[in-house]
Structure 1
């Protein structure tokens, strides 16, 4: 018997490890692949881009917030992974009428490590998940001390949106040495160009997701805020809380080094 409690306080009991899994969470889809569950995963969302080959071999059940309930039902899953922030309550409740749903809620690194271990227990991969969580924890523990850098992290434009102090991105920023100047806000507040300037950050970070900021967007913002450095960053390392976390510390180190390099150097770390 597998017995786990999800973020809602709902206890999920499975007689055996699931053999037909649908994942509605991109970072957890990648985690399932890392745990060796290719044969068990039957459905993913169109935003589940890692591993790349899965999108052509698994059933696409819609988006994270526009789930095709009929497609999920047709797959006859014995486990559906969802997330409180990424999926809607209505979709979760609809799916729960015909399949077990486990809902996660990850706000920081300890929460991510706990989620990885729990998903490992749910899927019969507890030892593998424990080893992965240990490697991630060790990689973050080995991060060098970075000089504090006051930052605005943008996730959207028209309107511009940033991150508050209760988000997973905020926690990753802190571990990379960034001081979130909008930490006093919650969730994902809208901010104006004037508010960004008034916050006096050392840098503005433009994420690759969910809005795909590119050089043209950086150039447009630079025209309005010419005195503030702007860097394009890979949003997956700041916001994906599954197995991709293994590589986040190395990325943060490269990013901080790139930011300390002369202005003529490339602004997006490899």
Structure 2
């Protein structure tokens, strides 16, 4: 079968050992097949108390450690993980399933395929509940936003991102959705001059907070939010619509 990138992946008939290189996929597997998850990155923070082998980060995984875990499949993402690392695992005979997710609908379809094909299990109940939660259409006035993800230098969410689609579905239009880059560097004065209705400040990858970030946007409404709700595709999708609507209202 082909993964989301079109790469052919030979998955064993029975999958008992899974390594995840993406925090949201780690949470997804832990909530669905907890006994099968044997390895995850140092950044995989959910669920709390996850007791599996750690294989460093998404961008610098310990390939030897992964091979020693003898996984039936390694789960990865086209944006989160580096192609050379994934290719090295493939060359070592490891099955690598790569997701590619840029919209909420793609998240549902990709996760369903990942569980059915790469994990050899039925799609979980939480995935159906997430689909239902996101079926509620937005019917209020639309607003504009910028979404910083880093400072020094300032970087924002640009085109074709999962985060942008999440906000769009909640009635918030990203002012940089038409930028040629997905995560462009934008000088702070330009961001302020755009005068968005909202400055959405997720707590990852940069840990924006009530006291770190809003001071840079005087006169603008700043909304710190959970990065997990805004950027993760997994069980958090069930609660994300209601919690983000409340935060952004």
Q: TM-score, normalised by structure 1?
A: 0.87
Q: Does residue 1:211 correspond to 2:203, yes or no?
A: no
Q: Does residue 1:162 correspond to 2:153, yes or no?
A: no
After superposition, residues 91-106 of structure 1 pair within 5 angstroms as: 91-98=85-92, 99-106=94-101
Partner of 1:109: 104
- Structure 1, residues 140-195: CA drift from partner, whole Å, max 9, x if none? 11254232111001111101111112111110110121111111113100111221
Shift of 1:50: 0.6
User: How many residues matched?
Assistant: 246
- Of 143, 146, 153, the match for 1:152: 146
Partner of 1:67: 61
| Structure 2: distance between partners of 1:32 and 1:124 | 12
Partner of 1:18: 15
Contact 2:143 2:198 in 1 (8 A): yes
Which segments of 5 or more consecutive residues in structure 2 lack a partner in the other structure?
Answer: none
| Structure 2: distance between partners of 1:73 and 1:228 | 49
Contact 1:24 1:82 in 2 (8 A): yes
Contact 2:4 2:110 in 1 (8 A): no
| Structure 2: distance between partners of 1:256 and 1:8 | 34
Contact 2:138 2:170 in 1 (8 A): no
Partner of 1:39: 35
- Structure 1, residues 29-81: CA drift from partner, whole Å, max 9, x if none? 1110221x111111000111011121xx2100000001011110111111000
| Structure 1: distance between partners of 2:171 and 2:19 | 36
Contact 1:146 1:176 in 2 (8 A): no
State which structure, 1 or 2, has the greater radius of gyration over its C-alpha atoms: 1
Contact 2:138 2:171 in 1 (8 A): no
Q: Does residue 1:90 correspond to 2:84, yes or no?
A: yes
Instruction: Check 1:150–1:71 CA distance in 2 against 1; reply closer, same or farther (3 A cut).
Output: same
| Structure 2: distance between partners of 1:15 and 1:151 | 45
Which segments of 5 or more consecutive residues in structure 1 lack a partner in the other structure?
Answer: 258-270
- Secondary structure (helix, strand or coil) at the match of 2:65 reads helix
Q: Does residue 1:252 correspond to 2:239, yes or no?
A: no
Contact 2:12 2:72 in 1 (8 A): no
- Secondary structure (helix, strand or coil) at the match of 2:34 reads coil
| Structure 2: distance between partners of 1:34 and 1:209 | 22
